[in-house]
Chains A and B, each alone.
Chain A
């Protein structure tokens, strides 16, 4: 077409519309803020009902309980952001808690060595998941469902009906679960350090952004030359390693470990991640949000105990929260997309009019 459109400039429509970014940032922040808000309401409400809830020990317990879930949520976030899922984490925690316990009980082992063994086992599990998903192109849901059962079976085989008792463990291991630095227990400390490191990496490093790129549009990522397989493999390795770390922390915190430790936790972790604002379709969300989601779920559990509510309500409430989070996401996504389209349209019309 050789026609050139011309029309007089429209008055009052100068300058590019720049609200699109604020809108989206607001939508993202809104998630983290609303979780914080929910946490605040929950804590204040419960404290009014039972003032002992906010005692030093109560708060400490919540953070100790949340540490392991948050750690797993951080690893899971990396996987989900790439539009994949890791359902095997619960089994990995169980396997590592038991086998690291067996290893530690075998002699007066150095705690660092125990941690390394746990992380190494986790890495191997992550490697298997990652290779199957990224190189063999099997859907993540199926692969990790499979490894969930395989690892669980392995765990049962090793345990053989036994359990690890706190009395068998070297004191260094148990100290990891109880001691701390300046009154702050090790567990939350480790978790926060890991969370900050992963969060910082994902946000501020070029390769970190590629995880989001892959989840946002795999085709575009391929065409942009993003090493998709390597990144997806990395995500599973991190998730596996963190699950291994979580397994050792589990051992340290509880001392007594049976074979089905952390049984069913994979779904808890995925729930926490989704409640925390990571889109299950990838590309959106932060590990901080996921961590907050995990903290929220844990707090609800503690609150129910304090309020003497039957514990089976906890699962129902988790479910409701999950549905709420997904509905809000969907609604928000629709709203934001519509607003952005409108804005883009206006700016096009505006441009057509001006030049």
Chain B
């Protein structure tokens, strides 16, 4: 792949941009040029400043120094509306839609097709939306409300929005984090079409293989600083990782070999109507068992049921030989189960609460007991414990009293882990433990999981990241449409065998 000729000025560019939030330097002297007909990758660990770049392009932030240029001329975006007017469309990591409004209204908010007297022409709006979806190859109903759409479909709506705007610059902030392989392929096809039509695309992803598959050039940031812009063709994945991390990376999947011990979690014929059917498996102490499958196969639902968030309709669950009642998280916790949920922002953490308080949430009882002061919680004990966990998990923070929301994704995940590890669980269930986490921290989370297993913890890991599943698991359980379709030992697990089972094709895996 060669870069297109550079006769025209870049469609959109940051030139020597710096931006600080209080004492935190988010960007320092960053230059980034987006050219028409090119997909440009932005790489960097979490906290490197990628989101700030995105928000500067989007008109949400204004640079402290340096300038934004459109077609070579300096521009000032006073707000998102200005950026949109300049042809910039942004697809955020977490799509931001109006849940109560129809899909069509979401796409055309503020610029609906008009009939006489400035009225909204609903029929034209719905027809136009249907046309957009047809172009994208998705059968969504324009009149359907956005509430309840899967993340992939929400992203489709965002892309449709961008296309309908005739955006000249499309910025995608980790669009693939929640997508299945097939949805990613669909997204890439659309992106390539837009590129060929002369759109400038900025693409952010933690999956390096996606950068190599889709992008022509890549700009790397590290700790808010500009590392460099390279042709993707000139780099190897290792080069890129080195640029992002600034050091050579230890093995990404540091799985220690263990001899599995007693059965810690025993699940038999577990069924929840409409979610999963007849699921049976064991997890032994010291073992990491991965639960693989496509999004929507029922994996998270199994985890939620095990932990008592949802009730199961039939079957049994035993933790260390003790039967668990359905539908009681309290019983699950006291039996020794811990769940690190998929969505840490919504389910795993209280974002506005401090680090120490978040960590203390699972141990309020213990904290009360520790003080012996008639049920009051000692903030000192809470802080000491939090500091201790912070050290053990190599948490990067400035003050324990800071809100969890200011931490990077990887560090947030560590706080969730600390919160649950502090309960000294027998079985740890982790749902997508490294989604949206940068490579450096990913390796740390993996090392942590491996260490925990080595210390006799039973780990059930739900993951859509195939390399992670293959790299970390002693055994791989695969689900397809609510049923367990295969159990594959580490030695036999390959991308092919897992995907075969995940898509319901008879494969090499031994049927469960």
Contacts and interface: CB of A to CB of B under 8 A. Distances in A.
B367 interface: no
Nearest to B504: A7
Chain B: number of interface residues, binned into ranges: 35 or more
Nearest to A221: B98
Nearest to B213: A2
Chain A interface mostly: helix
Given A210-B109, A224-B109, A348-B153, A20 B120 contact: no
Chain B interface mostly: loop
Given A7-B503, A209-B101, A210-B109, A349 B481 contact: yes
Given A16-B140, A216-B99, A355 B182 contact: yes
B58 interface: yes
B16 interface: no
Contacts, number: 151
A5 B502 contact: yes
Of the candidates B92, B139, B140, B209, the one having the most CB atoms from chain A within 10 angstroms of its own CB is B139
B98 A21 contact: no
A8 to B, nearest CB: 9
A112 interface: no
B6 interface: no
Contact of A348 (B185, B296, B502): B296
Interface stretch (B143-151, B252-260, B370-378): B143-151
Interface stretch (A124-132, A319-327, A337-345): A337-345
A224 B110 contact: yes
A220 B294 contact: no
A206 B84 CA distance: 17
Interface string A307-343: 0000000000000000000000000000011011111
Contacts of B499: 3, 5
Contacts of B504: 7
Chain A: number of interface residues, binned into ranges: 35 or more
Contacts of A216: 98-101
Contacts of B135: none
Contact of A209 (B92, B109, B152): B109
A56 interface: no
B111 interface: yes
Contact of B80 (A224, A347, A348): A224
B182 A20 contact: no
A219 B80 CA distance: 11
A213 B100 CA distance: 8
A3 B296 contact: no
B98 A342 contact: no
Contact of B92 (A5, A217, A223): A223
Interface of A: 1-7, 15-18, 20-21, 24, 204-206, 209-210, 212-213, 215-217, 219-227, 279, 283-284, 336-337, 339-345, 347-349, 351-352, 355
Interface of B: 58, 60, 79-81, 84, 90, 92, 96-102, 105, 109-112, 114, 118-120, 137-141, 143-145, 147-150, 152-153, 180-182, 184-185, 207, 209, 213, 274, 294-296, 465-466, 481, 495, 499, 502-505
17 contacts: A1-B184, A4-B185, A20-B141, A20-B145, A204-B120, A206-B110, A212-B100, A213-B105, A213-B109, A216-B98, A279-B100, A283-B101, A339-B148, A340-B149, A348-B153, A349-B481, A351-B139
List 9 A-B pairs, minimum CB-CB distance, nearest first. Answer: A340-B148, A16-B139, A225-B81, A21-B143, A220-B96, A216-B98, A283-B100, A20-B144, A216-B100
Given A210-B109, A343-B148, 19 more contacts: A1-B207, A5-B181, A7-B505, A20-B144, A20-B145, A21-B141, A24-B145, A213-B98, A213-B101, A213-B109, A216-B101, A217-B98, A219-B96, A223-B60, A224-B110, A225-B110, A226-B109, A283-B98, A348-B153
